[in-house]
């Protein structure tokens, strides 16, 4: 019997329908504008696709979980947290997660958006795998299943015991204030663990790519084998690029941009100005990045320090994109958004992604 | 309109064609893996019978096929030559498409052409057991078939990725009395070392070769047998091209384009070498094209250099186009043809510009395979479908230009044991892998220096 933590952010997604680009901090405004809850419906789709056996829920009282479980006829659950106020908040999400961790949950499944993902990750980091049922206005983080039904498939597989594959997935921090003002400012908030089934709903006979960590190490070995001592390498954020730093036995920031040359860490957690300064000192530069987030942004989400100004100096051929085959499979298209549309177009309609030792995939690119 | 062009049994070639006699310059010699000096025949006697060593180095233009070998080849040879009328009609091409079909052999591919010969020479020299490697299982099942007919034992080290994905190939080997183990295995030093380094490795042909060579070198009654790459293997396969030439002559056709898929190179060699001879002799100007996967583009993106035939560096160093002996293409690459190097003879012809090469992605390969199956009926092995992809492309070019070119290719085997790959293709689960050639130039610095 698997123990699944189940949390609904009852307000997730409300801002979307009324044009608020997110609901963080403006639930009342959304209500005034006529918004109605979205996430209970998504939770219903998830629960109605889930078998009623083999799973025991740990949940939150009322609208944050228990109500939906009762409505869908689930009786095997335990309330581990009860919100104190009338309105629930991100603090309730975090406290509920901690209570679930205390009760040894095998997985925390949440129904919400990027804000909820950030709250869940903030509470439990990588201690417990997490999975999101997409219900928010913004779904940039890659911790979400593609649909509520896909989430149910993953959980079903997990409770059947046929499951041992987990993957790294970025939780993105999106500044909603700036987002509402028309600027999408993102950075990687953290890297969570998610249960991973390749193309979980497509085919009975799945293709197996092998262990994610092992594949990251393959990529790292290859990249290290082609590194030249006369070249500066900017390592982007994410666990695949971190594997490259690990292979070089260098500390790295994981969530920022680091610079490496001749096996030495030249600078870490660089901002755009820091990168531009380095470019005045190095003639040969390569930029190694991994697609980030559910949509697969090569540039423009989580690594906005690699700006159009930077790319104009290095040239777009300096870019080396790396990603594991599993990540590429769940990311059908890649995106480039470096802030300069003319430069974006120069990348063309496909991009080569290093996905193993001396192996790459050509992926369709959108701008 | 004749569809099947069938040779009488007495038309089965009596000699193999040895292209070494007609090369523009001699092959660079194989080198000893330790001394890095040219190999002596005696160096190979620990793992090969003397007659195969002689054939490996022979400069004789033709070599007799023993009656005992021809007798077994007659179980399925001469193989039919088909005119692909229905594919031509579907493509609306003026091109004439012919294909040899090697899927009629009991194991279902061209591989037994050499398995029978190699096993025969081992048997004649008193060897009781043969060790080998196999990738997709075509070679392993062919050698199991051959050793059973000659009453010998056989151990097959099968690349683990294929061992897990293709259970029926290993069942075939079992039916024919062979022992098949996943490679890397705990049975050899090379296998144990690889497992210690990476217990989850999907294996590779290079690792499996290391295991089989070690097995042969450490058992007195055992020899090693290789299903591709080596000169004598290419030699034994020339029976395909020789038959095709006779069959084309029966319908007054001459090939303008000859196309073969190329992994280690023996299927391509067997089809193409007799036609290369005609080009060298100025009797024809046939375009001869080797087709390889974009995931393992040895001829199109590799380096022409000395390299080991295996991962562990146990085999002699061969001058060939190579991607580096430690190169392991992803096991999810469904199209086969995953060897890091190319037969020295094929490499030499490519370096001398007597043949050309091209590479294709696996989704376009399966697209061609499905087109072929839906017109001609035969479900081709993914390996053979690489050739079919380029055949279709060439036929469509003819459609544009109006040229009535005659295209010959070798449909080297059926795909009945590759249906899981077809399933993955239909499900959209086959990524198009590609060799990052520009970055790779750096990684080839690992080649052994001579």
**Domain spans of chain B, in order of start:** 67-108+231-446
pLDDT tens for B43-79 read 888 889 999 999 999 999 999 999 999 999 999 999 9
User: Quick check: A163 contacting B, CB < 8 Å?
Assistant: no
- Tokens 């940039």 belong to which residue? A140
Residue A69 domain-assigned (yes or no): yes
Residue A208 pLDDT: 46
Statement to judge: residues A221 and A318 lie in one domain: yes
Distance CA A227, CA A286 (A): 9
Closest chain B C-alpha to A358 CA, distance in angstroms: 6
Q: Are A68 and A40 in contact (CB under 8 A)?
A: yes
CB–CB contact A328 B423 (8 Å)? no
Q: Which residue has the higher pLDDT, B313 or A346?
A: A346
d(CA A217, nearest CA chain B) in Å? 11
Identify any residues that bridge with A81 across adjacent strands, giving them in sequence order: A60
Both A115 and A89 in a single domain? yes
Chain B residues touching A244 at Cβ < 8 A: none
Structural domain of A361? 212-366
Full DSSP string of B398-438: HHHHT---EEEEEE-BB-TT-HHHHHHHHTT----EE--HH
Does B447 score more than 80 pLDDT? no
Q: Which residue has the higher pLDDT, A249 or A367?
A: A249
DSSP string, B143-196: HHHHHHHTT-EEEEEEEHHHHHH-HHHHHHHHHTT-EEEEES-TTSHHHHHHHH
Across the interface, whether the CB atoms of B295 and A359 are under 8 A apart is answered yes
Residue numbers in A near B295 (CB within 8 A): 359
What is the model's pLDDT at position B119?
98
Please say if the pLDDT value at position B27 is more than 60: yes
Please report which helix (H) or strand (E) contains residue B437, including its range: helix B437-443
Residues A237 and A190 in one domain: no
- Whether A71 is covered by a domain: the verdict is yes
- Same domain as A172, residue A43: yes
Contact B36, B317 (CB under 8 A): yes
pLDDT given for residue B8 in this prediction: 97
Quote the number of domains for chain A: 2
Whether residue A281 sits in one domain with residue A184: no
pLDDT, average across residues A69-84 = 94
- The per-residue pLDDT of chain A, averaged, comes to 84
Per-residue model confidence as pLDDT tens digits over A107-159: 999 999 888 999 999 999 999 999 999 887 667 788 988 788 889 988 888 88
Q: Are residues A275 and A134 in the same domain?
A: no
- Is B429 in CB contact (< 8 Å) with chain A? yes
pLDDT, mean of residues B418-425: 90
pLDDT in tens, B382-394: 999 999 999 999 9
Check pLDDT > 90 for residue B174: yes
Which of B239-253, B311-325, B423-437 holds the top average pLDDT?
B239-253
For residue A320, list chain B residues with Cβ-Cβ distance below 8 A: 439
DSSP codes joined into one string, B210-244: HHHHHHHHT-TTEEE--SSSSHHHHHHHHHHHHHH
Same domain, A181 and A34: yes
Nearest to A239 by CA among A128, A344, A326, A358: A326
Q: pTM higher than 0.90, yes or no?
A: no
Query: What is the predicted ipTM?
Result: 0.71
> Around Cβ B423, how many Cβ atoms within 10 Å?
16
Cβ contact B200–A228 (<8 Å): no
In the predicted structure, residue A205 carries a pLDDT above the cut 50: no
State whether residue B35 sits within 8 Å of chain A by CB.
Answer: no
Instruction: Give the pLDDT mean for A308-317.
Output: 93
Contacts of B447 in chain A (CB under 8 A): none
Question: Residue B327 and residue A206: Cβ atoms within 8 Å?
Answer: no
Both tokens assigned to A309: 């100004």
The span from the CA of A19 to the CA of A33, in Å, is 9
Over range A19-32, report the average pLDDT: 66
* Averaged pLDDT for residues A8-26: 70
Percent of chain B at pLDDT above 90? 76
Q: Position of tokens 């989850």?
A: B200
| Domain assignment present for A40 | yes
Q: DSSP string covering B382-393, please?
A: HHHHHHHHHHHH
pLDDT 10s digits, A255-291: 788 999 999 999 998 888 999 999 999 999 999 999 8
- CATH fit for domain B67-108+231-446, picks 3.40.50.1100, 3.40.47.10, 3.40.630.10, 3.40.50.1370: 3.40.50.1100
Interface of B with A in 319-338 (CB under 8 A): 323-324, 327-330, 332
Is some CB atom of chain A closer than 8 A to the CB atom of B442?
yes
Same domain, A11 and A104: yes
pLDDT at A307 over 60: yes
- Among B179, B92, B98, residue whose Cα is nearest residue B143: B179
Which of B329, B420, B442 has its CB closest to that of A226? B442
Are both A83 and A183 inside the same structural domain? yes
């Amino acid at each position: 019997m698997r123990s699944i933590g189940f949390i609904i952010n009852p307000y997730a997604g409300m801002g979307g329908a009324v044009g608020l680009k997110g609901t963080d901090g403006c639930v009342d405004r959304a209500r005034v504008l006529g918004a109605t809850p979205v996430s209970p419906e998504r939770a219903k789709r998830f629960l109605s696709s889930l078998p009623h056996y083999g799973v025991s829920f740990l949940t939150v009282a009322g609208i944050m979980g228990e109500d939906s479980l009762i409505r869908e006829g689930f009786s095997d659950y335990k309330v581990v947290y009860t919100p104190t106020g009338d309105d629930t908040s991100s603090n309730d999400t975090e406290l509920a997660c901690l209570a679930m961790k205390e009760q040894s949950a095998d997985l925390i499944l949440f129904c919400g958006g990027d804000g909820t993902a950030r709250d869940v990750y903030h509470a439990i980091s990588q201690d417990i795998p997490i999975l999101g049922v997409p219900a928010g206005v913004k779904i940039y983080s890659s911790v979400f299943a593609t649909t509520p039904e896909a989430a149910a498939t993953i959980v079903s597989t997990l409770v059947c015991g046929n499951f041992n594959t987990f993957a790294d997935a970025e939780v993105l921090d999106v500044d909603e204030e700036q987002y509402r003002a028309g600027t999408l400012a993102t950075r990687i908030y953290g890297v969570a663990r998610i249960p991973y089934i390749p193309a979980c709903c497509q085919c009975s006979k799945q293709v197996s790519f092998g262990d994610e960590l092992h594949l990251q190490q393959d990529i790292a070995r290859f990249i290290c084998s082609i590194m030249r001592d006369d070249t500066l390498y900017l390592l982007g954020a994410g666990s695949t690029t971190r594997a490259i730093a690990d292979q070089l036995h260098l500390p790295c920031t994981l969530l920022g941009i680091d610079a490496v040359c001749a096996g030495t860490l030249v600078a870490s957690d660089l901002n755009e100005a820091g990168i531009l300064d380095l470019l005045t000192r190095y003639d040969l530069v390569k930029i190694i990045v991994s697609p980030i987030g559910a949509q697969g942004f090569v540039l423009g989400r989580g690594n906005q320090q690699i700006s159009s100004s930077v790319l104009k100096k290095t040239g777009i051929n300096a870019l080396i994109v790396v990603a594991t085959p599993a990540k590429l499979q769940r990311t059908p298209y890649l995106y480039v958004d470096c802030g300069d549309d003319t430069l974006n177009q120069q990348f063309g309609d496909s991009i080569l992604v290093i996905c193993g030792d001396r192996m790459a995939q050509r992926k369709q690119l959108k701008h | 309109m004749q569809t099947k062009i069938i040779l009488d049994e007495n038309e089965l070639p009596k000699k193999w064609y040895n292209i070494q006699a007609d090369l523009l310059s001699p092959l660079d010699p194989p080198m000893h893996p330790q001394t890095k000096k040219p190999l002596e025949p005696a160096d190979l006697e620990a793992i090969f019978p003397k007659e195969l060593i002689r054939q490996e180095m022979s400069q004789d233009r033709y070599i007799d096929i023993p009656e005992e070998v021809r007798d077994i080849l007659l179980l399925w040879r001469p193989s039919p030559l088909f005119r692909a009328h229905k594919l031509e009609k579907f493509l609306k091409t003026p091109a004439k498409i012919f294909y040899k079909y090697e899927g009629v052999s009991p194991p279902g591919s061209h591989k037994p052409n050499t398995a029978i010969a190699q096993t025969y020479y081992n048997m004649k020299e008193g060897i009781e057991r043969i060790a080998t490697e196999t990738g997709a299982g075509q070679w392993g099942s062919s050698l199991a078939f051959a050793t059973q007919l000659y009453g010998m034992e056989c151990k097959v080290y099968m690349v683990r990725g294929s061992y897990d994905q293709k259970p029926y190939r290993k069942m075939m080997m079992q039916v024919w009395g062979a022992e098949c183990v996943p490679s890397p295995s705990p049975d050899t030093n090379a296998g144990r070392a690889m497992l210690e380094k990476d217990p989850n490795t999907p294996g590779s042909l290079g690792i499996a070769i290391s295991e089989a060579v070690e097995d042969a070198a450490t058992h007195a009654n055992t020899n090693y047998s290789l299903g591709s790459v080596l000169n004598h293997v290419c030699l034994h396969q020339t029976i395909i091209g020789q038959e095709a030439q006779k069959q084309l002559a029966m319908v007054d056709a001459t090939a303008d384009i000859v196309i073969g898929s190329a992994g280690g190179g023996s299927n391509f060699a067997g089809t193409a070498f007799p036609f290369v001879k005609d080009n060298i002799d100025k009797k024809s100007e046939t375009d001869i094209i080797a087709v390889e996967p974009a995931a393992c583009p040895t001829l199109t993106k590799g380096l022409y250099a000395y390299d080991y035939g295996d991962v562990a560096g146990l085999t002699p160093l061969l001058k060939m186009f190579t991607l580096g002996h430690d190169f392991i293409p992803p096991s999810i690459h469904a199209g086969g043809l995953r060897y890091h190097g190319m037969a020295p003879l094929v490499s030499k012809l490519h370096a001398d510009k007597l043949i050309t090469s091209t590479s294709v992605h696996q989704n376009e390969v399966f697209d061609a395979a499905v087109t072929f199956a839906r017109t001609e009926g035969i479900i081709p092995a993914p390996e053979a479908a690489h050739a079919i992809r380029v055949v279709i492309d060439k036929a469509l070019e003819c459609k544009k230009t109006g040229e009535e070119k005659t295209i010959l290719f070798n449909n080297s085997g059926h795909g009945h044991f590759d249906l899981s790959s077809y399933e993955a293709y239909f499900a959209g689960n086959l990524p198009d892998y590609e060799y990052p050639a520009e970055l790779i130039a750096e990684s080839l610095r690992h080649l052994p220096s001579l």
